[in-house]
Amino acid sequence: MSREMKKIALVIPTCDRASILKENIEAILDEVKDNNIPIYISDDSQNDATLIAISDLRKLYKNIFYFKNDPSLGHDKNYIRTLKLAQEDYVWFLGDAVKIRKGYLSQVVSIIQNNYDFVSVNTLSRNLHLDSSIYQDGNLLLKNLGWHLTFSGSTIYSKNSLENIDMIDLKSCKNFPQISIIFRDFIKNNYKLFWFGERVVEVNSKKKSSYWSQDVMDVFLKDWSNVVLGLPEDYALTVKNEAIKSHTINSNLFSIGYLVFLRINGFLDYEKIKMYGELLKKYGQVNYNLTCLISRMPPNLLKVLRKLYLHFSS
């Protein structure tokens, strides 16, 4: 007797990105139909734009389910709610600006038939070159991919891995509930994660900013380090620190160019640098004194210097 096929659902939390969300779903609709994959939308918006967009899509494909949060839940609570909407064997959590590239959805459907607890996929925008492989060592997974798993769209969860999702303490994993879901019980439960090294997803180019754009230090210094350092003692402290630093290095969020961008746009000042001084010294990418200097330079002067740099380096 042949084994019953494992089923997957796409689950998408969204907030005020109706047109991008619609465009992303339209781009994969043929593959979704071919594989009879349901799509669940959890809308945190304050208007009906997303409802209208989904109503239009349902004329093309009925297996799309819409849920409105009233009142809005915020990032972390909506993350958890979205993961709980589907009853399929696997749920692929996608950010509302993340698009699955053509041809890969069917490949992922094949991969989940191997009963992995998690599947993680590569994305077009990241400088990540690791061949496809199976991870059973939690420390190695945290070291190699912990930073990448912050990306909303990189992970497919088995229903088995979500059994205790209501026990997740959102205060201890603020802005990164996925890290707690993946790593909290990974070692204890002998989980397996399949890393699919192909560049499966991409961010829609029309996306202008992220919810954390104005609070990047709060999110990717304080919150990120807190959630990783708060993982069980099964994970070595050296690995935890390396994982935290890896995000800084690989994302370039605290490079000179990004610090200049923050200062020009009013998101960086010396008081903020002092607030996060110790974390910047430990996990930052730029010399701390240079970081302080950038935070105190007049934004208009930085604009001129940046234009000159771009002109002479082109």
pLDDT of residue 310: 84
Instruction: Tell me the pLDDT tens digit for each residue of 76-118.
Output: 999 999 999 999 999 999 999 999 999 999 999 999 999 999 9
pLDDT of residue 130: 96
**Which sign, positive or negative, has the C-alpha torsion 8, 169, 207, 131?**
negative
| Residue 88 C-alpha from the chain's centroid | 21
Question: Residue 223: exposed, middle, or buried by beta-carbon count in 10 A (0-12, 13-18, 19+)?
Answer: middle
Q: Quick one: tokens of 94?
A: 């996608």
Residue 2 has pLDDT above 80, yes or no: no
Question: Residue 149: exposed, middle, or buried by beta-carbon count in 10 A (0-12, 13-18, 19+)?
Answer: buried
Cα separation, 235 vs 182, whole angstroms: 13
Cα separation, 235 vs 176, whole angstroms: 17
CA angle 306, 311, 314 (to 5 degrees): 115
pLDDT of residue 1: 41
Going from the N-terminus, what domains does the chain have, and what CATH number goes with each? 8-203 (3.90.550.10), 213-313 (no CATH)
Cα separation, 293 vs 214, whole angstroms: 20
Can you give 243-304 as a three-state secondary structure string? HHHHHHHHHCCCCHHHHHHHHHCCCCCHHHHHHCHHHHHHHCCCCHHHHHHHHHCCHHHHHH
Mean pLDDT, rounded, for 9-23: 97
pLDDT of residue 215: 87
Instruction: Tell me the pLDDT tens digit for each residue of 193-207.
Output: 999 999 999 999 998
Q: Report the first-to-last Cα separation within the chain, whole angstroms.
A: 64
Q: What DSSP element (H or E) covers 223?
A: none
Cα separation, 195 vs 307, whole angstroms: 41
Instruction: Tell me the pLDDT tens digit for each residue of 138-175.
Output: 999 999 999 999 999 999 999 999 999 999 999 999 99
Q: Quick one: tokens of 235?
A: 């994970």
Mean pLDDT, rounded, for 237-261: 93
pLDDT of residue 42: 98
**Average pLDDT of the chain, as a whole number:** 94
> What is the C-alpha radius of gyration for the chain, rounded to an integer number of angstroms?
20
What are the C-alpha distances in Å from 40 to residues 8, 9, 28, 68, 225?
11, 7, 14, 11, 31
Contacts of 240 (CB under 8 A, 6+ apart): 142, 228, 229, 231
